[in-house]
Structure 1
């Protein structure tokens, strides 16, 4: 805790921390405001709502799969702080696009639009385009926010810094999600623009972080660069299993986040404020888990608690499913507000299940990210994170497509929750493999 407090007073860490905080806040304020507005105010069918939620998640994730290799190369071969400043300036433009879509949808301008053979409206097209661009922005910031830490922090500060970044990210997600559920959509449109402007000026305070290796030529062939980057990164068994385990974790997270808004509306029979509350509890839990695992490991980068953490997460997913089924058997006849939801039988149990899922998830994933920056050479840290983002995003896109397919096939949204529990079992097996690889590497270093 002393290390964490010290870092929050240091210019080596604080501007980066606040910049990332604003980035996560704005992304989630925009994304959640958009999804909740469309689900609650535009569509009126569980199938359409589930499909839209999955499409939105897929569009946000897709740039990570397409552009992470280029982002990793740039982050390792250019000044990381300079990239942060340029990306944050571009955020102002993309949030103007997103705000335009929100405003037009709020005013009811349902202008028909045929986009690549798909019938939609101009406001929805603008909102989804801006969401895709926020994914592009996060793709270029993703390799930097972790890889810059070993460059600015001492070795014994990296795990604490990683935990703070992860916890801060989810606190920001929490704040953005709360506001999106409670403020009018037109206020959200103004808020995302103002936040992007403030974030740009904060980003200018991040200390320079010049490249640490010899300059190399950028490979602009996206597919070739992606395959080559993943192939080169996977040579280390520790890094390989960390990346695969993280990928399954975020696939679970993607499926759960896709399910929350339509599940809240159609199963729990709750208002958009309650849907926002679900996302809030999930984010708070991740933040708690991020801090808790740092305290348990006492600054050591290790996966020794990862298998147990993700098994506990899976058990809470099953518990959440069972409570949702019981809730469905005694379903309200009209949408509940937050007070009505909290007064309903089993509401506390449902929220505790969500909290358990997310706390265990935070304890699982944070040490794995620390592996990616401490088990490779400093000059390759950004590309390692980028390789992780490619594999993660590929898995998450598959998860989004699976959720879309299940919704299109008429699989009830509550039944889709069990897919996440199955993924937890696979993640536990991968975490066990990582732990064995970690112990083998320690043994090799000793001899």
Structure 2
């Protein structure tokens, strides 16, 4: 079991995400005493009988004034059994792009539902986004369970509807955990509550501590995007040439045969360096500098890969994209595509279909894709990129589309047909 879990929250407006995150920080003693005192004073000033724990996390002035979360905020907390990095994402429809950003690296997402409202439009939207991003596990936190009559019956009905949705989106039932909670009162957050006798499962923190989640994917061999070429040219290291980056997948040892892509040149790893000294072995997620047996022309953006499953460089491909900006994406749009450390010019060919997350249907050949919409497109790049299918590896299968004039990110993309995991029909 990994000792670090990356998770994110998602849900509709006023479902209680900020309160839940504040409760997690409070119950794990991850906030300072003066912060708690400030929250208590602010809560009294607002006429509240109990501390408003959402004030611990809504840091922007606009967030505090409106009572909503706008931007993604990363929180860090720990228990005796595990450390956590949590991306607290917004609930408003217009901030769906921020939710995509926050959940893109998550190994688990806590999706909140207000017990009084049940599964609503934004719940379906967020579940669809999580499915497309390939998030391995979900927690359905049915919040404000203390505010409904017949809570056991309400909880069962919401879980049944949610399970039908997630099954259609391609999730295995073993990857879903449903928990009734009251973030305000702490029911089933840190410990199991006596006020939910109909529920016999773990508390939220118990589940987060015990859920088995691999730190990094191991579906493919070595994938090492080169970020920087190191040539110190000193008297101590007159011939040193190293290639620095983060291992995106797989593992590497001195003596391993590798191939340099897109050139296709084979060589051998002669050393694995770090700031703390050489290593005999390094795995995905580790920042290292690779030394090679041969002098090869390698530059930023190249990929060092295992030769037995090295991906073919591609110049034209299908991709699933989520539009993050106000500018629509249309056929013929010229953009910059950023894949790892490599950037190249790109053009959007046809828009194959637009995904309707509410009905799980596809709208074929739309004229454009607009803000927050998800669709499948054809893309042609000026220089080949070395990418895996996103379903095989999230790190090397994702990219960004950037407006070359403004530098703004227009869309997040996934190489391959990520929509194929969803049971969709055509209008």
Calculate the TM-score normalised by the size of structure 2: 0.25
Q: Higher helix fraction: Structure 1 or Structure 2? A: 1
Q: Higher strand fraction: Structure 1 or Structure 2? A: 2
Calculate the TM-score normalised by the size of structure 1: 0.24
Bigger radius of gyration, 1 or 2? 2
Which structure is higher in RCO with an 8 Å CA cutoff and minimum separation 6? 1
